[in-house]
Amino acid sequence: MFDFARRQLLNMFQCERNRAPWVLFMAVVMLLLLDVVVSADSTYCEVCTNAIATAALFSNKAVVNQSTFLLSKSNGRATVQEDGNFVVTNQDGTPLWATKTFGKAPANLVLQEDGNLVLYAKNGDPLWAANAGRKYKDPPYCLILQQDNTLSTWTSKCRWKWRTRRDGLSMWQS
């Protein structure tokens, strides 16, 4: 039931985000309330569940594509561009990190059950992967766009496993 309600609210959020600000506000409030209810019984790390609704991607729960994005508390944004490149920008729109998959077909970013963050083409072919075969423990996982506009993947034990760096590279932790 909660997944259905969350999907409906996400659809409303995607359709209405360019319309009246109060609709956007209500959609975000409802998503926050649902996350509190759903996460109370789940095993997600509190780093994941304390993130604002538009800043967290949960493993196999949602995707980021051209019509959705992650937004940090400092108004940084993580989005899939029309050219297939997944980019993190600061509040001014300056790119901070990217998958460098531009020129590819439009794509979807998925945080898989195994903790791997993968950018897929519309035909299902993987364009980019964060962990390239690394095995993570302690599922489920979440991807957070933090206030400093870095992306990081967290385990249920509240340990980060992958994150972007400010120099445009990314790093892993074993």
- Distance from C-alpha of 106 to C-alpha of 119, rounded to nearest angstrom: 10
Give the confidence band of 137 by pLDDT, cuts at 50, 70, 90. confident
Higher local confidence (pLDDT), 48 or 40: 48
* Its pTM surpasses 0.75: no
∠ Cα 35 131 41 (to 5°): 20
pLDDT at 62 over 80: no
Structural domains in the chain, sorted by start: 1-41 (no CATH), 45-172 (2.90.10.10)
pLDDT of residue 107: 80
- Distance from C-alpha of 58 to C-alpha of 141, rounded to nearest angstrom: 6
pLDDT of residue 1: 39
pLDDT of residue 89: 92
- Distance from C-alpha of 162 to C-alpha of 10, rounded to nearest angstrom: 26
Q: For residue range 145-170, what is the model confidence (pLDDT) as tens digits?
A: 888 888 888 888 888 888 888 776 66
- Distance from C-alpha of 136 to C-alpha of 52, rounded to nearest angstrom: 25
Closest CA to 163 of 115, 124, 106: 115
Q: For residue range 81-115, what is the model confidence (pLDDT) as tens digits?
A: 888 899 999 999 999 999 999 887 778 889 888 88
pLDDT at 25 over 70: no
For the chain, the maximum distance between any two Cα atoms, rounded to a whole number of angstroms, is 45
- Helix (H) or strand (E) segment spanning residue 137: none
pLDDT of residue 75: 87
C-alpha of 22 from chain center: 23
For residue 63, how many other CB atoms are within 10 A of its CB? Answer: 15
Give the confidence band of 46 by pLDDT, cuts at 50, 70, 90. confident
- Residue 155 near residue 115 (C-beta atoms within 8 A): yes
Extract the tokens encoding 64. Answer: 């980021």
pLDDT of residue 66: 73
- Helix (H) or strand (E) segment spanning residue 31: helix 21-39
- Helix (H) or strand (E) segment spanning residue 72: none
pLDDT of residue 87: 92
pLDDT at 79 over 50: yes
Give the confidence band of 48 by pLDDT, cuts at 50, 70, 90. confident
